[in-house]
Structure 1
Amino acid sequence: MALMRETPERALRDGMVRQTSCYPLIPYSNRIAQGRFSFEGVEHRLALNFGDHPHSIHGNAWQKPWEVMEADEAHCRLVLVHRPEGDEARGWPFAYRAEQLFDLSPAGLTLTLSLENEDRRAMPAGLGLHPFFPKRPGVRLQFAAERVFPNGEESLPMDAVSIPSDWNYRTMRELGEPRLDNCFAGWDGMARIAYVEERIALSIEANPLFGHLVVYVPTGRDFFAVEPVSHMNDAINRPNPTVHGLKVLKPGERLTAQVRFRVEILS
């Protein structure tokens, strides 16, 4: 059985990234309000890259072709080099190099993401991963976090609050229909998805860089997402963005982090 959402052939043929099993969030996660931010005294305006959605979303790496540098049955390395020239500057105004490294083993998958600042200036930076999972009957979820950011108008986060009972998955329980599309802070880097009827589980183990977790459970759909990310939604527009997980990379500096997916047979 598939433990991640299967990608339709049509999605591969037509480049429909949001219908794939997983894609990277580089060089930032989730939304930047109205595609605008200020960094080191310079105002930047990004392309609104998701139809009529009013914000820039998930960076630009998920919408660009990556080069396959190495590949065999158990290993793959993808590279993306971004240069902010012409219209590309609307995707992201800083030069960077990103890599995705996939390593399969009998126990599961390890995915390593890296982002290097190749600009002459410092740049704000973040990493994230957007895997989708099948929402089968009886699927269960478990993860622990300290607080959650409720969304206000236009899907932007308000101040963090204690996690309400409907969104509390500290103890393994049925996923249900919690109407979640929110970022959790103080995540401990562990999550677990259990398909009880099929007697199989998938654990997610993320490096400490991923101190936030976005959980997306759309109502009435056959999938959900559990997304390890480095920072809160729209962190770049907060008064102290680094407090909320956003990093600042000097020229030549790099962020690297891993997410491990491990398979377990339930007794």
Structure 2
Amino acid sequence: MLIVTLRSSALKLDLAPSVGGAIAGFWHDDVALMRETPEQALRDGLVRQTSCYPLIPYSNRIAQGRFSFQGVEHRLALNFGDHPHSIHGNAWQKPWQVAAADDARCRFVFIHRPEDDEARGWPFAYRAEQLFELSQSGLMLTLSLENEDDRAMPAGLGLHPFFPKRPGIRLQFAAERVHPNGEDSLPLDSIPIPPEWSYQTMRELDEPRLDNCFSGWDGTARLAYVQEKIALSIEADPLFDHLVVYVPMGRDFFAVEPVSHMNDAINRPDPSHHGLKVLKPGERLTAQVRFGVETLS
């Protein structure tokens, strides 16, 4: 199994192209900035245990794996164990190819063709790329998605980074509203953000019982590992105006996910609200997320 390692000053990034195009680790010296991936998980191809993976060509859930687009009904594979919905697109479950790499820069490519059973993953042809650029101050990750079908296709982008939940971890981000989930794990109408889910001011992460999509995100978030004296900032392009925050109870990790649209957007009626895009044949969607690293005094 190929691991591509990038280095710049105190930063190190491990990439696992064959395991869903995932990040396998991100460190400042010996401090893990993202959740570390167990070696056995990499050998077994367990993408959900990696540090970060791409969400292409959509983020989060599509209800029952069904949607209608431009008058055509589509049914996707249920790709998340016994979960009743399709989730996170199909690129995270496929090997990616290394198109170019040097000491601090690497580009992955994934080409999807909806032939035979692959149409159940996604019914439209596309090309996706990830560009990883490591500098002494952080990581720039550029995602792109190009429609290579002869039809228009719905399109979204996102990242699913996991972070270690250490004692004293603090979080800050600002958004306008949040979508609570119903018992079926699908979003309800948005509501004002309740105090227990508000991180407008940086505070300890705690156990907020969060697995929800925030809308009107301003594109920035900040994590502070107080004991390790390391801060990690997230700065995303305006395309990423939604943020999924997942804090499982009693686990040693959490996720802060920049995404371009709300959960189950494809089955929602108002495109000005849900954020999903439509790409004509040959059109491309491109956006960047920067993970900045700084030491705290």
| TM-score normalised to structure 2 length | 0.89
Q: Look up the equivalent residue of 1:85 and give its one-letter code.
A: E
Which of 136, 146, 149 is the aligned partner of 1:116?
A: 146
Matched position secondary structure for 1:153: coil
Indicate the residue corresponding to 1:230 in structure 2.
260
Greater mean deviation of Cα atoms: 232-241 or 181-190: 232-241
| In structure 1, C-alpha distance between the alignment counterparts of 2:52 and 2:165, rounded to whole Å | 15
Cα offset, 1:126, TM superposition: 0.1
Q: Look up the equivalent residue of 1:139 and give its one-letter code.
A: I
Q: Look up the equivalent residue of 2:157 and give its one-letter code.
A: L
Q: Look up the equivalent residue of 2:72 and give its one-letter code.
A: V
Which of 234, 237, 262 is the aligned partner of 1:204?
A: 234
Indicate the residue corresponding to 2:113 in structure 1.
83
Cα offset, 1:242, TM superposition: 4.5
| In structure 1, C-alpha distance between the alignment counterparts of 2:215 and 2:239, rounded to whole Å | 12
Which of 16, 27, 33 is the aligned partner of 2:63?
A: 33
Q: Look up the equivalent residue of 1:199 and give its one-letter code.
A: K
Matched position secondary structure for 2:48: helix
Matched position secondary structure for 1:11: helix
| In structure 1, C-alpha distance between the alignment counterparts of 2:285 and 2:213, rounded to whole Å | 21
Q: Look up the equivalent residue of 2:164 and give its one-letter code.
A: P
Count of residues in correspondence between the two structures: 267
- Gapped regions of structure 1 (runs ≥ 5): none
- Cα deviation per residue 1:177-196 (whole Å; 9 max; x = unaligned)? 00100000000000000011
- Gapped regions of structure 2 (runs ≥ 5): 1-30
Q: Look up the equivalent residue of 2:240 and give its one-letter code.
A: F
- Cα deviation per residue 1:30-84 (whole Å; 9 max; x = unaligned)? 0000000000000000000010000000000000010011112201100000000
Give 1:188-267 correspondences, 5 Å limit: 188-267=218-297
Report whether the alignment pairs 1:129 with 2:159. Answer: yes
Indicate the residue corresponding to 1:64 in structure 2.
94
| In structure 2, C-alpha distance between the alignment counterparts of 1:91 and 1:138, rounded to whole Å | 40
| In structure 2, C-alpha distance between the alignment counterparts of 1:232 and 1:241, rounded to whole Å | 10
Indicate the residue corresponding to 1:176 in structure 2.
206
- Cα deviation per residue 1:221-263 (whole Å; 9 max; x = unaligned)? 0000000000000010011235311000000000000000011
Question: Percent identity over the alignment?
Answer: 84
Indicate the residue corresponding to 1:185 in structure 2.
215
CA RMSD of aligned residues (A): 0.6
| In structure 2, C-alpha distance between the alignment counterparts of 1:43 and 1:119, rounded to whole Å | 17
Report whether the alignment pairs 1:4 with 2:34. Answer: yes
Matched position secondary structure for 1:87: helix
Q: Look up the equivalent residue of 1:55 and give its one-letter code.
A: H
| In structure 1, C-alpha distance between the alignment counterparts of 2:269 and 2:145, rounded to whole Å | 24
Which of 58, 75, 78 is the aligned partner of 1:48?
A: 78
Report whether the alignment pairs 1:149 with 2:179. Answer: yes
Runs of 4+ aligned structure 1 residues displaced above 3 Å come to none
| In structure 2, C-alpha distance between the alignment counterparts of 1:196 and 1:161, rounded to whole Å | 32
| In structure 1, C-alpha distance between the alignment counterparts of 2:203 and 2:178, rounded to whole Å | 18
| In structure 2, C-alpha distance between the alignment counterparts of 1:71 and 1:23, rounded to whole Å | 18
Matched position secondary structure for 2:162: strand
